[in-house]
Amino acid sequence: MSTSAFDIVVAPRIGRTGHPLFGVCALGLVATAALVAGWLPIAFSIVTVFLFAGPHNWVEARYFLSRLPARWGRLQGFFLVGFIGVVGLTAGFAGLSYLSDVFGDHWLSGLAGWNTLLALWIASLVHLRSRQNPRRDWLWIWPVTFFLIALTWLTPMLWSLGLVYLHPLIALWILDREIRRTRPEYRRLYHVCVLAVPICLAVLWWKLAGALDLEGDDLLRRITHHAGAGLLDGVSSHLLVATHTFLEAVHYGVWLLAIPWLGTRTNLWSVPRMPLGRRSLTWTRGLQVFLALSACVVIGLWLCFHANYPITRDIYFMLAMVHVLAEAPFLLRAL
Amino acid sequence: MHYRILILIALCLAFFPVVARSNMPPVNVPPPVRGNDKKPATRVLRVDANVTIILTYSVPGEAPHDRARLFIPKRIADAQALNGAVRPERAMSAHPTWISGLALSAAFVTGGFWLVGRPKSSGAKLLVSLLVTTTVLITIGQSDLLGDIPSPWWMKRQPRPIPQWNMPGPHPLAPPAPLAPPNVPIIVEGNRIQIGVDVVILADGDHMELVLPKSLMPAGGLKQVGKPGI
């Protein structure tokens, strides 16, 4: 029996997994956030918004700039609809907030209309993205969108409250796509860590189901109403604020810790290496100036929070709709 | 895998309010003190051409002649308008729901188009499962859906006789006895009158009416003072 001279020895495939330290840090962050949010929800909310709201927006802006293609090409329609939607819907949201006295009883109709436009905008983006790949069949988005529109005209306030709670979860999805792109060996470990979020939510709701309502001054009322205390009768405001603050802390952790760490392997921290930065020196300098000015805005936001936290908080959450809306097109592009 | 986890998280967020509102008692936690419970529900009514109160003294023979009656039209006694604050969600309920219906119809139409456009095997399976689910739900719930609909004219039904009740105690299907107003004697102490009052909410009407027993009418009869209706 002769043997071939070219016996190919196939080495056993060794699965590459992420470093356990990543899992330890992620689980520690989630658990700590849940613990502090449940114990001191108001203080935790004030401190996290004060410290991390501005910086996380700055990192988001940097990330979105790094993900923009140098030339849109076939994605021109997608990005045009995306940017027009972000700017238009933010302006509409700001107008709705300031003109609530003018609208009177029709303010709710205005809110339902804004929610409708938001749903149609996202559906349009999904439709455009679906057409870019023949293997994608995402047209189910239209019946789902119309169903959600029907819901928003029945309960516009609850619909908006749903956005408040679902928005922090979008960061987890974006992080998943970023891990898949840059460090796929960490993806399985990341999925295990994400399971800690519903477990912590379950513990929070179990422990705080019978908690007393939070009582306090005007700032506390703003925070509790933001979390839905005025809409969900019978649910403790302590529980609502703790839930919202926990999810926001996870959101901040993703943008301030995970994304920058993953960005060490990408062009996140190097403007000349970004697609837009490679177009020309003018673009490079323009992006660097924009990011520097954004950093000054973050410092200014801290000063405004220090000077008058309640008013600054209201203005910030109104204008922060930009970053909430901007996540939609970039998440869809990552899918 | 990742989107399933996020869907799980979203479902948890949706269902946990139900769990939180369950009857689980708190452990060693005093009952919550809600400030709103201490504030009485009030509504300030300005007596003008839109809101009038008519004072009437009932004649003897009108039963119960020893009780006062206050008739309030429903539009004035609307509980939703108490405290001058209408819940935003209830204000929205007055908004026509045709937009929701239109959107729901669009959802069904676009869903049908999407099912038809899919490969035959998967689209047909989804459609069949939807039809089966709908049929099962209608079969189960038809008693609720059709219970109050009167039988058509071609299905004349004889009235079912009430079976004879031979058991001790009142018949369970017998209508409850009408509530008799408590016998509260009229006590007059200076300018204060202690009297039983029956409040009646009327389905329509444009004015309130207070009917007092004739025995309380001041000597010399009533004199019109001020604006009519006051």
- If DSSP states are collapsed to H, E and C, what string results for A41-110? HHHHHHHHHHHHHHHHHHHHHHHHHHHCCCCCHHHHHHHHHHHHHHHHHHHHHHHHHHCHHHHHHHHHHH
Of B51, B44, B111, B175, the closest CA to residue A144 belongs to: B111
DSSP H/E element including B106: helix B98-117
Candidates A212, A216, A208; CA nearest to B32 is: A212
Give A145's contacts in chain B (Cβ within 8 Å): 107
CA dist., res. B31 & res. B12, Å (int): 27
Indicate the SS3 state at residue B27: coil
Q: Is residue A271 part of a domain?
A: yes
Order the strands of the B207-213 sheet from edge to edge. Answer: B52-58, B207-213, B68-73, B197-202
Q: Tell me which chain B residues have a C-beta less than 8 angstroms from the C-beta of A201.
A: 9, 12-13, 16
Of A105, A150, A235, the CB nearest to B107: A150
8 Å CB contact of A201 and B6:
no
Amino acid letter for position A104 = G
CA distance A160 to A152: 8
Q: Hey, is the C-beta of A205 within 8 angstroms of any chain B C-beta?
A: yes
> How many structural domains is chain A composed of?
1
Question: Tokens for B230?
Answer: 């006051």
Contact A70, A276 (CB under 8 A): yes
Within-domain flag for A10? no
Q: What is the pLDDT, as a whole number, of residue B177?
A: 57
Q: What is the pLDDT of residue A14?
A: 40
Residue A83: what pLDDT? 92
The domain of A251 spans 19-66+74-334
CA A26 to chain CA mean position, Å: 17
- Report if pTM > 0.90: no
Distance CA A121, CA A325 (A): 10
**Which H helix or E strand runs over B52?**
strand B52-58
Percent of chain B with pLDDT over 90: 1
Query: What pLDDT does residue A38 have?
Result: 92
Q: Cβ of A211 under 8 Å from any chain B Cβ? A: yes
pLDDT of residue B80: 42
pLDDT of residue A232: 77
Residues of A in contact with B21 (CB under 8 A): 234-235
Q: Does ipTM come in above 0.85?
A: no
Q: What pLDDT is stored for residue B121 in this prediction? A: 59
Mutate to test the interface with B, among A138, A141, A149 (most CBs of B within 10 A): A149
Put simply, the chain A residues between 41 and 100 with a CB less than 8 A from any chain B CB are none
pLDDT digits (tens, 9 = 90+) for B62-75: 555 567 888 887 76
Residue A206 lies in a domain: yes
Which pLDDT band, with edges at 50, 70 and 90, does B200 fall under?
A: confident
For residue A13, tell me if it sits in a domain. no
Place of tokens 């839930």: A243
- With 70 as the cut, is the pLDDT of residue B194 above it? yes
The Cα of B198 is separated from the nearest Cα of chain A by a number of Å equal to 33
Interface test with B, best of A212, A225, A241 (most B CBs within 10 A): A212
Give pLDDT, residue A115.
92
Please give the residue of chain B at the shortest CA–CA distance from A209. Answer: B20
- Residue A5's pLDDT is what? 43
Cα of A6 to nearest chain B Cα, Å: 41
Using a CB-CB cut-off of 8 Å, the residues of chain B touching A176 are 2
Mean pLDDT, range B157-163, rounded to an integer:
58
Confidence tier at B208 by pLDDT (50, 70, 90): confident
Say how far apart CA A211 and CA B20 lie, in whole Å: 10
> Would residue A2 count as lying in a domain?
no
Which residue of B95, B102, B115, B116 is the best one to mutate when testing the A interface, meaning the one whose CB has the most A CBs within 10 A? B95
Q: Among residues 147-176 of chain A, which lie with CB inside 8 Å of chain B? A: 147, 149-151, 153-158, 165-166, 169, 172-173, 176
Which residue is associated with the tokens 């006051």?
Answer: B230
Task: Specify if A316 maps to a domain.
Answer: yes
Nearest chain B CA: its distance from A133 CA (Å): 16
Amino acid at B144: D
Is residue A334 within 8 Å of residue A266, measured between CB atoms?
no
Cβ <8 Å between B110 and A146: yes
B145 CA: distance to closest CA in chain A (Å)? 23
The letter for the amino acid at A91 is A
Confidence of residue B203 (pLDDT cuts 50, 70, 90): confident
Q: Of A146, A165, A169, which is closest to B106 when you measure between CB atoms?
A: A146
What b/e readout covers A104-124, taking b as 16+ CB neighbours within 10 angstroms? eeebbbbbbbbbbebbebbbb
Domain contains A187: yes
pLDDT at B85: 43
* A residues 294..333 contacting B (CB < 8 A): none
Measured between CA atoms, the residue of chain A closest to residue B110 is A143
Q: How far is A234 from chain B (nearest CA, A)?
A: 6
A9 falls within a domain: no
Distance from A203 to chain B by nearest Cα, in Å?
Answer: 11
Return the pLDDT at A257. 93
Average pLDDT over residues B5-30: 51
pLDDT string in tens for chain A (335-residue length): 444 444 344 444 445 666 788 889 999 999 999 999 999 999 999 999 999 999 999 999 999 988 888 888 888 889 999 999 999 999 998 888 777 666 666 778 888 999 999 999 999 999 999 888 877 788 889 999 999 999 898 888 888 888 889 888 999 999 999 999 888 888 888 998 999 999 999 999 999 888 877 877 777 888 888 888 877 777 888 899 999 999 999 999 999 999 998 888 788 888 888 888 888 899 899 999 999 999 999 999 999 999 998 889 888 988 888 888 988 888 888 88
What is the per-residue pLDDT for A16? 61
Query: Contact A108/B110, CB-based, under 8 Å?
Result: no
Name residue B69's beta-bridge partners: B198, B211
CB-based contact A236 B20, cutoff 8 Å:
yes
Residues of B in contact with A198 (CB under 8 A): 8-9, 12
